[in-house]
């Protein structure tokens, strides 16, 4: 087993940190140009379609939209470095305040979905590998195929129609019940009931992906000699699967789980719209319709930074899972 010296691991952390910062800056620049090159003018949203040109020029000057694009980019970057994400054109308050008000809802939704997908995806993948070519294995593969084939908004609409409208088991929209001042356990139960359908919608696609990858990696590991040796020594089958085989098959699964956060953020836009969930995804759709450039840039910055940070954390835990991994010095 190879143990990395502390100074080498610190250099590795510093190098990956610098790479993440450069990546975030590049994404900020790319997102800035893509948003400003898209059709539509936020001035018409603010001032209406029937205003005169002088009023439009006044609005552009007030929000700095009359400056050259490179000047606007420099001003925006200088503000971001100071922690200022700008001022929302449609909400009439700071972008940071607008985004922070929606972060808890989206974090709760995505964290719940990724936990559910990770647990069930890994368990189903292990059991499918243990019962290769059985009815159970075929049923799991059919579920995975459906999960990959159906987009998240289609799954959400099916969930909404079946469980909310027809069966009436879950509420159709929102994060909590309106016009009810619930507290304590009642509030928590109401929150969980509202979370059920959006979380399941986001988790189904990820369960299918994690399950198929876990199954494939487990089948590869179960053919190794050390697995046969463990069985020959009389180790129980459950211990062989979860203590020996799964530990060696877990590295690619951890990688895909880390990247799933970014995919869930993009999928949350449609899912939050279907269920009228007050999170970042719905805020992004509102900002697109309003041509609210500062909010869009702030959202893309938060999402890009979140993905970069999660990839950084995933890279750093690789040696903890498998000490045999060698990083390039």
pLDDT (average), residues 254-261: 74
Radius of gyration of the chain from its Cα atoms, rounded to whole angstroms: 24
| Higher pLDDT pick, 108 / 186 | 108
Kind and range of the H or E run holding 12? helix 6-37
Q: Which letter does DSSP use for residue 286 in this model? A: H
pLDDT at 75: 81
Residue 328: pLDDT over 60? no
Which residues, in sequence order, are bridge partners of residue 94? 87
In the chain, domain spans: 1-89+291-329, 101-285
CA nearest neighbour of 312 among 4, 21, 11: 21
Core vs surface per residue 281-304: b (16+ CB within 10 A) or e: bbbbeebbebbbbbbbbbbbbbbb
pLDDT at 295: 86
Calpha distance 307→262 (Å, rounded): 6
Burial of 322 (0-12, 13-18, 19+ CB in 10 A): middle
Structure tokens at 289: 């319709």
CA nearest neighbour of 299 among 112, 153, 103, 113: 103
Residue 212: pLDDT over 50? yes
pLDDT at 329: 45
- Chain centre distance of CA 71: 32
Mean pLDDT of the chain: 78
Q: Which letter does DSSP use for residue 94 in this model? A: B
Burial of 312 (0-12, 13-18, 19+ CB in 10 A): middle
Residue 8: pLDDT over 80? no
pLDDT at 214: 86
Which residues, in sequence order, are bridge partners of residue 87? 94
Residue 4: pLDDT over 60? no
At 264-321, the pLDDT tens digits run 766 677 788 888 888 888 888 888 877 787 888 888 888 877 777 777 777 777 666 6
What residues contact residue 252 under an 8 Å CB cut-off, 6+ apart? 213, 217
Residue 26: pLDDT over 80? yes
Calpha distance 151→128 (Å, rounded): 24
Poorest-pLDDT segment among 133-137, 200-204, 321-325: 321-325
How many Cβ atoms are within 10 Å of 32's Cβ, its own excluded?
20
Helix 95-130 crosses helix 280-290 at what angle (to 10 degrees)?
130
pLDDT (average), residues 126-153: 81
Structure tokens at 305: 């930074």
Q: In the block, which residue shows the tokens 């869930």? A: 264
> What is the pTM (predicted TM-score) of this model?
0.76
Q: Which letter does DSSP use for residue 291 in this model? A: T
Q: Which letter does DSSP use for residue 87 in this model? A: B
Coil, strand, or helix at residue 225? helix
CA nearest neighbour of 144 among 204, 191, 87: 204
Q: Per CATH, which fold does 101-285 belong to?
A: MetI-like fold (1.10.3720)
pLDDT at 1: 42
At 51-96, the pLDDT tens digits run 667 777 777 777 677 777 788 788 878 888 887 787 787 777 888 8
């Amino acid at each position: 087993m190879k143990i990395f010296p502390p100074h080498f691991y610190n250099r590795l952390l510093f190098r990956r940190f610098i790479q993440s910062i450069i990546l975030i800056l590049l994404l900020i620049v790319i997102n800035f140009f893509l948003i400003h090159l898209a059709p539509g003018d936020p001035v018409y949203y603010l001032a209406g379609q029937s205003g005169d040109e002088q009023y439009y020029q006044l609005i552009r000057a007030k929000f700095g939209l009359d400056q050259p694009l490179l000047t606007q980019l420099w001003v925006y970057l200088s503000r971001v470095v100071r922690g200022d994400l700008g001022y929302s054109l449609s909400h009439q308050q700071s972008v940071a305040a607008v985004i922070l008000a929606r972060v808890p809802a989206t974090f709760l939704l995505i964290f719940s979905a990724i936990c559910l997908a990770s647990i069930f995806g890994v368990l189903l993948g292990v059991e499918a590998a243990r019962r290769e070519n059985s009815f159970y294995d075929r049923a799991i593969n059919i579920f995975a195929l459906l999960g990959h084939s159906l987009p998240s908004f289609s799954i959400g609409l099916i969930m909404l129609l079946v469980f909310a409208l027809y069966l009436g088991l879950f509420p159709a929209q929102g994060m909590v019940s309106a016009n009810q001042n619930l507290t304590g356990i009642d509030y928590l139960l109401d929150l969980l009931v509202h979370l059920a359908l959006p979380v399941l919608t986001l988790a189904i696609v990820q369960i299918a992906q994690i399950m198929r990858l876990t199954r494939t990696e487990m089948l590869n590991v179960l053919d190794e000699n050390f697995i046969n040796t463990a069985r020959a020594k009389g180790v129980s089958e459950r211990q062989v699967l979860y203590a020996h085989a799964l530990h060696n098959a877990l590295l690619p699964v951890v990688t895909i789980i880390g990247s799933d956060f970014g995919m869930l953020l993009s999928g949350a836009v449609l899912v939050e719209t279907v269920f009228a969930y007050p999170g970042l995804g719905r805020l992004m759709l509102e900002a697109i319709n309003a041509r609210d450039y500062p909010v869009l840039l702030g959202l893309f910055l938060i999402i890009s930074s979140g993905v970069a940070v999660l990839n950084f954390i995933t890279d750093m835990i690789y040696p903890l899972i498998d000490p045999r991994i060698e990083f390039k010095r």
